[in-house]
Amino acid sequence: MSLPNLASLCAELSHVVLLYDKGEKGTCFLGLGAKRILEIGGKISNVKAFQALEEFSKREEGKYTFGALSYDLKNSIHNLKTSNPNTLGLPDLCWWQPKVVIKWHPSNKEFAPEILQGDSESELAIKGLDAIKNPGNNEGCKVRSELVWAWDKDTYIEKFNNVKNLIQAGDVYELNLCQTLRGKAPSTSSWSLFTQLYSKTRAPFSAYLQAGKTRIISGSPERFLKRERGKLISEPIKGTIARGPNEAEDLKLIEELRSSEKERAENIMIADLVRNDLSRVAKRGTVEVDDLCGIHTFETVHQMITRITCEVDDNVGISDILKATYPMGSMTGAPKLSAMENIDLLEEKGRGVYSGSIGYISPTGDFDLNVLIRSLFHNADTEKIEASVGGAITALSNAEDEYKECKLKAEALRKTLQGE
């Protein structure tokens, strides 16, 4: 099955969410409409945001809920305070219970789309099924707009050198420094932008979220955290190299990434951080590294990914799990608290939803959350768009290489907004 055509549903409804993975074992979810909504914005000074999320997800038994969490929710867990502005003006937490939820496996035609939530005979369910089964022409109108870097190259290198000084002083040993790009696009273009981004990335944690003015257009390749039948799974990404022009060159680049001392060091540092985070909620002795520094190939890049798992007791809820693990360590650096404090000083703006998460909570309390990278964030009221890209800086990092990596990660986003 192809990408569903949600253009008319996005025009009709205030709340639409699509989680799309067309991989061999991929599962997709489509949520339409909103029966109940939880939204938290502005300054957050305590841990109640995640408690509110857990209570909201449990309020009606047997219901799926979906939504997005901003990176800046870190302030509610780690007692951090920052005056950095939320430049796009999107909420810190946006979650809701869709009226209709449909699940399907696009690579397995033996399994028909299944209505998990809502009346299967309702007009909304019928429209959703038709969008999945009969996508038709899904290209939409291309936006031709520029994404402009907030920092020039000299500014980035100055920030890079500041991070190197922090590493030499022992304040951090890895820090994920991110920079922002800004543009504008019509409020009606969000879905079209998603279809164009997906055609370029085909990432396994791709997602489209529309909740009023909030629009998230994600081509994420990274899982933050999944809970499945008492098991937690985290898959941090650290280590990136571009795809080659042919198979032979591709294989050389894979081996270059696999054998890179710098990339492996970055990945292992974050794997250790994630292991430590998970140990706070795991059953004793169950934290394991299932796959260390595995190489995974995507449409435009090869990535180094480590898979870490643990077991958790049934009485440990999502609030406790997120307080122990959020935000994803691959987007902070290590030590985590010091890295986040210095990120606030260096980046000089709130990250907002970027490097936060989008996903779902099931009726049983299981959940699956991505890391919001390789994504566009669209405020439909102001028509402003932001994207951010970055990379981990360690003692072995080179400023020119890190700058080029940022450019590489932004390429699909830039081409999407320019209609290339």
Distance separating alpha carbons of residues 301 and 220, to the nearest angstrom: 12
Through-space distance between the first and last CA atoms of the chain, rounded to whole angstroms? 24
Distance separating alpha carbons of residues 176 and 371, to the nearest angstrom: 14
CB 239 within 8 A of CB 265: no
* Cα separations in angstroms, 341 against 70, 74, 345, 389: 16, 10, 7, 19
Alpha helical stretches, state H, 170-293: 190-201, 247-258, 261-279
Distance separating alpha carbons of residues 144 and 160, to the nearest angstrom: 32
Distance separating alpha carbons of residues 391 and 368, to the nearest angstrom: 24
Distance separating alpha carbons of residues 202 and 215, to the nearest angstrom: 19
Residues serving a catalytic function are 222, 238
CB 359 within 8 A of CB 368: yes
Distance separating alpha carbons of residues 83 and 189, to the nearest angstrom: 32
